[in-house]
Structure 1
Amino acid sequence: MRNYVKLFPVVCFLLIYNGTTAQSTPSDQQLLINDMLLVADNFAAPGAEGAAIQSSAGWFSSASAMDEWTIEFSVHGNALFIPKSKQNKVSSNSDFSILTLQGGSNALLPTVFGGDSDAVFEGSIFGQNFSFDAIEGLDKKVLIHPFPQVTVGLPYGTEIAARYLPSIIINDVGFSTYGIGLKHNFTQYYERRFNPEDFQFAAVVTYSNFKVDYAFIPVDIQIAELNRIDVNANLWLAQLMGSKLYDTFEVFGAVGVTNSNFDYEMGGSGPGLGLLNESLTAIGGNEAKFKGDIGFNYYFDNFKVSTMFTAGSLFNANIGLHYRIK
């Protein structure tokens, strides 16, 4: 991720000369900015998809409602599986206005999940040539994401869940997450007598936030000294869920939609930092994705083991261990 910053000296070089040189027109400046944002977006987009899938997994694994004021403590682990199609992306000179790929007309470039690359971008603006290496990824085929969660049974067949993971740092990458979710059981409205083994139907709404801080060796680019890039993500989930209990074994499934919004910001100091971060807002925005869940639960004493498989733009497996206090 440290190579991520190699994109931005070029953008800052562009901003330094804004209004101070006659060798470039405003349209040239905008074309270069657009090229830079396309490079960054191609790199980051699969990571945004993965975050939306992982943040939506494991909230609730049964449509039935817990008894009022029952408390369930859970520990979850997500495993996001990255296909080759999400590890690399083909880029061509025809995709860009100012930039070209050194030594060829196209190249297979890594995304955030990809590995190393020998590709080099080059271009010319303000009468000067420049070049930078393609961004290198994390080289991940499986991404693990653990988190704790607490769920409380409320009146009227409703449950509330909260999850929180404080900021931790691994290999110069810090991340934290928190979220809250609600589930409401609808079977109670059409079943005259409650039977735990009746088919259960419920609706779920959740909100998640996660922050990622990529730290790197400070880079001085004259108008700013950069030392990290921060990612702030807000993610919503709405889904319908059904489940059926067979003694101590339960099968469940759900369909829903996620909506994600990502904000990117460079950290550091200097008068040009604000202008740099303003240009980064172009790669944020909202994105909606459909997803489906299927899984099963096994109950014993006050414990439950849940397994959930999520299919959407990516595939995720979630395993949870739950303990209930009545």
Structure 2
Amino acid sequence: MRKSLLVKGGFIAVVFSSFTANAQDVETIQEVNSLIDDAIFFTDKYITPATDAAVYQAASGWMNTPRKSNLWDFTLGVHVNTFLVPKSDRQFRLSNSDFSFFNIDGTDSAMTPSALGSDEFVTLTGMLNNAPVVVKSPEGVNRETIIYPYIQGSLGLWKGTEIIAKYSPEINLKHVNYQVYGVGLKHNLSQYFKYLESKKISIAALAAYSKEDITVEFLDVQTSYGNLGFTSLNSLIDTWHFQLSAAKEFKKLELSAAIIMNNSDFEYEIQGEKGSIEEIIPLHDIVNERLTVIDKIKYNYIGEVAARYQFSRFYLQTSIAFGKFVNSNISLQYKFK
């Protein structure tokens, strides 16, 4: 059950007490509260598929090889990541019964694009301060695959340990901006087992941290107080990755398999130019405080298989990660000596 702003915490109660004293309009306060409730509900449904997908994309391609690296070995690679958008995450159903402020224009229920969905939309209508509020639902990236490039480097340290860093420029998709960067440590385990080394079998463990940053075009809410400033929604995701990989060498070809577990912390924030309603109540602050109710921590278990082929100092590698989603990665790497 959604909690009313009128009973959620001293800060919000004081804000609305002030608003009441200035506006003398309890009904308008209730309308604003209902509008915020609806915005929070819609945010969770709309953005969650994209943030879940971002975690999968960030989990892929961390370990070039589980083989032991020598001290100061340096490898630099250009990676291209391809994420397959499942149909089930491209849209969700909205019903009038989901809302307390808005109604879907012309129908009781409609399929609506998520951030990973199409460029279709539904029109939502409501009344604030006896004036109509008409909002077009945000559109999605309108792609069946999402492709983005990034660079990744690894440096050999002592005793079979390797530091790895990845960085992507901000990728501008339709209605969505996305960026990921991170750092990790790999340690070779097979060095402690001479039998495995003699059979050219390598095993390594990885611990890594990544930051996923997603910003989407959101709700353009025009009211008698001006735009409410919900035009942009940002999600910051902190993810810890843990990976165990094993590989077998066949001359210049290496085949590997891995198990990945990651732990992601999701946070959300409304951004955009503030409207004149901020002169009455700090709406942005209130909404962002309320958005904490959809903050979450999620765990994923992901499998990954990869093939890596060497020619001279270059390596061509391709991998596929699978679980809830499917994500592929191809890279060209150069090993400096």
Bin for the TM-score computed over the shorter chain: 0.7 to 0.9
Which one is further off, 204-213 or 142-151?
204-213
Aligned to 1:85: 88
CA contact (8 A) 1:179 1:207 kept: yes
CA–CA distance in structure 1, aligned partners of residues 289 and 209 of structure 2? 26
CA–CA distance in structure 2, aligned partners of residues 158 and 184 of structure 1? 4
Which one is further off, 225-234 or 311-320?
225-234
Q: How far is the alpha carbon of 1:37 from its aligned partner?
A: 1.3
Aligned to 1:11: none
Aligned residues: 311
Q: How far is the alpha carbon of 1:82 from its aligned partner?
A: 0.7
Q: How far is the alpha carbon of 1:110 from its aligned partner?
A: 0.4
Q: Which runs of 5+ in 2 are unaligned?
A: 1-14
Larger proportion of helix: 2
Which one is further off, 59-68 or 296-305?
59-68
Q: How far is the alpha carbon of 1:248 from its aligned partner?
A: 0.9
CA contact (8 A) 1:61 1:296 kept: no
Q: How far is the alpha carbon of 1:43 from its aligned partner?
A: 1.0
Q: How far is the alpha carbon of 1:71 from its aligned partner?
A: 0.4
Which one is further off, 96-105 or 74-83?
96-105
CA contact (8 A) 2:140 2:174 kept: no
Please state whether the residue corresponding to 1:23 is helix, strand or coil: helix
Q: Are residue 281 (structure 1) and residue 292 (structure 2) matched?
A: yes
Q: Are residue 40 (structure 1) and residue 40 (structure 2) matched?
A: no
Distance 1:295 1:85, change over 3 A: same
1:55 alignment partner, one of 45, 54, 58 = 58
CA–CA distance in structure 2, aligned partners of residues 217 and 119 of structure 1? 12
- Matched-pair identity in %: 29
Q: How far is the alpha carbon of 1:204 from its aligned partner?
A: 1.3
Q: Are residue 248 (structure 1) and residue 249 (structure 2) matched?
A: no
Distance 1:173 1:123, change over 3 A: closer
CA contact (8 A) 2:138 2:219 kept: no
Deviations 1:283-314 (A, max 9, x none): 33222222111111111211111111011222
Q: How far is the alpha carbon of 1:278 from its aligned partner?
A: 2.7
Aligned to 2:326: 315
Length-normalised TM-score, structure 2 = 0.80
Q: How far is the alpha carbon of 1:57 from its aligned partner?
A: 0.9
Q: Could you say what the CA RMSD is over the residues aligned between the two structures, in angstroms?
A: 3.2
Q: Which runs of 5+ in 1 are unaligned?
A: 1-13
Length-normalised TM-score, structure 1 = 0.82
Q: Are residue 141 (structure 1) and residue 152 (structure 2) matched?
A: no
Q: How far is the alpha carbon of 1:121 from its aligned partner?
A: 2.5
CA–CA distance in structure 2, aligned partners of residues 31 and 216 of structure 1? 18
Deviations 1:107-152 (A, max 9, x none): 1110112113352233456666544222211211111110011101
CA–CA distance in structure 1, aligned partners of residues 106 and 63 of structure 2? 51
Deviations 1:183-238 (A, max 9, x none): 1121122326843x432222111111133445799987647774644332222211
